Amino acid sequence: MENKKELRTWLDDFGLSHPLVIAGPCSAETEEQVLTIAHELKNTDATVLRAGIWKPRTRPGNFEGVGSLGLKWLKKAKDETGMLTSTEVANPTHVDLALEHDVDILWLGARTTVSPFIVQEIAESLKGTDKIVLVKNPVNPDLPLWLGAIERLYKSDIEKIGAIHRGFSTYEKTRYRNNPNWQIPIELQTRFPDLPLICDPSHIAGRRDIVFDICQTALDLNFDGLMVETHHNPDKAWSDAQQQITPATLVKMMEDLRIRKSTDTEADYRNALNTLRTQIDVIDHQVIEMLGKRMKVADEIGLLKKEKNVAVLQTRRWNEILGKMILEGEQNNLSEEFVLRVFKAIHQESINHQEKVIKG
């Protein structure tokens, strides 16, 4: 798929002066719940109501969604509030039912995007539709797989396409439920600047206290919209209770977010600069995290050395590391002098860590 200007038109058609906001509960639970939330969202920046009808749960036994019954509630919410509606579809039957009930935006979930077979079936069942179809990134950090799903839809003559970044699953526990790996959506945006890109901070965060920060980073990186899980009584939600925010919090969040509009060349320049600075911030954060990880490994080596009563400083090993890093530095356009300085500092910190372990 090449970058095409038409990719943007569906988003431009909304004519919004702020990012597109899709909000609503993780899952539709009852008619009353869907209608209450829709009415609370009605006069906010949220243009589109979301609610999961069929829920892909990692393990059986959890709430798996109310099924097609919930589509009637979405239709009622649309009729009563004028909001557009959206839900996840994970097979052609879901697609048929969602289209029958006039759902406006359909999205493919992270667990669907990983499977080219099912994406192809969905693309065929949607062939030629003028509905908006959004593709969440796959659970694993794999840009070609994400792109592949988008291309399958594109080849099925679906013109109104967008991508949703919801973070990537990791085995290790981090502060995020799904690691943002911002470099992946940045790469997608660089290759397809006209493909609308929406951030789902709720599934990245997994907890409501960092939803705001993730939204701010996304907007600083020029994302076009946000999909935020919103519930009138988040703690009582039947799924994803910890990450949902109330409609009132969403309103406050939209007021507090720095939202950039590129209107003149000065603003364009500042936007470009801010986007690059945010990329630097993301990378710096990764550098610090990686250094922290390296020191943890150094601590473990310290423990081993303590058990075996071996000296902390192992000169031969250290010279090998330096030699390798100077070569890799060259391939990455880094001067030998810089690599030496950085690695001497890292090495010193490792030795300090190990000495602490050995003495401790």
Residues that bind ligand PEP (CB under 6 A): 26, 52, 56, 88, 109-111, 136, 166, 203
166's contact among Mn ion, ligand PEP, none, with CB below 5 to 8 A by partner kind, is: ligand PEP
CA atoms within 13 A on the CB side of 170: 14
Please give the helix or strand (H or E) that residue 27 lies within, else none. Answer: none
What residue number has its CB nearest to Mn ion?
Answer: 26
Pair of tokens at residue 68: 């097609």
Residue located via tokens 């097609």: 68
CB of 82 to ligand PEP, least distance (A): 23
26 lies in the binding site for Mn ion (CB under 5 A): yes
Determine phi and psi for 6, rounding to 5 degrees: -60, -20
In this structure, the number of other CB atoms found within 10 A of the CB of residue 1 comes to: 16
Q: Which CB, 89 or 357, lies closer to ligand PEP?
A: 89
Q: Which CB, 234 or 329, lies closer to ligand PEP?
A: 234
Q: Which CB, 73 or 107, lies closer to Mn ion?
A: 107
CB of 110 to ligand PEP, least distance (A): 4
CB of 88 to ligand PEP, least distance (A): 6
CB of 240 to ligand PEP, least distance (A): 7
Which letter does DSSP use for residue 184 in this model?
H
Q: How far is CA 290 from the centre of its chain?
A: 21
H helices present in the chain, as ranges: 9-14, 31-41, 69-81, 92-100, 110-113, 116-125, 143-155, 183-191, 201-205, 211-220, 247-256, 265-308, 315-331, 336-359
347's contact among Mn ion, ligand PEP, none, with CB below 5 to 8 A by partner kind, is: none
109's contact among ligand PEP, Mn ion, none, with CB below 5 to 8 A by partner kind, is: ligand PEP
CA atoms within 13 A on the CB side of 150: 25
CB of 237 to ligand PEP, least distance (A): 11
How many whole angstroms separate alpha carbon 227 and alpha carbon 48?
Answer: 9
40 lies in the binding site for Mn ion (CB under 5 A): no
Give the footprint of Mn ion on residues 237-266 (CB under 5 A): 240
339's contact among Mn ion, ligand PEP, none, with CB below 5 to 8 A by partner kind, is: none
Q: Is the dihedral of CA 340, 346, 351, 352 positive or negative?
A: positive
CB of 173 to ligand PEP, least distance (A): 17
Closest CA to 312 of 272, 275, 360, 264: 360
How many whole angstroms separate alpha carbon 130 and alpha carbon 89?
Answer: 16
136's contact among ligand PEP, Mn ion, none, with CB below 5 to 8 A by partner kind, is: ligand PEP
* Contact (Cβ atoms closer than 8 angstroms) between residue 118 and residue 112: yes
Which amino acid, residue 9? T
CB of 109 to ligand PEP, least distance (A): 3
Q: Which CB, 58 or 265, lies closer to ligand PEP?
A: 58
Q: Which CB, 203 or 208, lies closer to ligand PEP?
A: 203
Q: Which CB, 250 or 357, lies closer to ligand PEP?
A: 250
Q: Which CB, 150 or 357, lies closer to ligand PEP?
A: 150
By CB under 5 A, name the binding residues for Mn ion: 26, 240
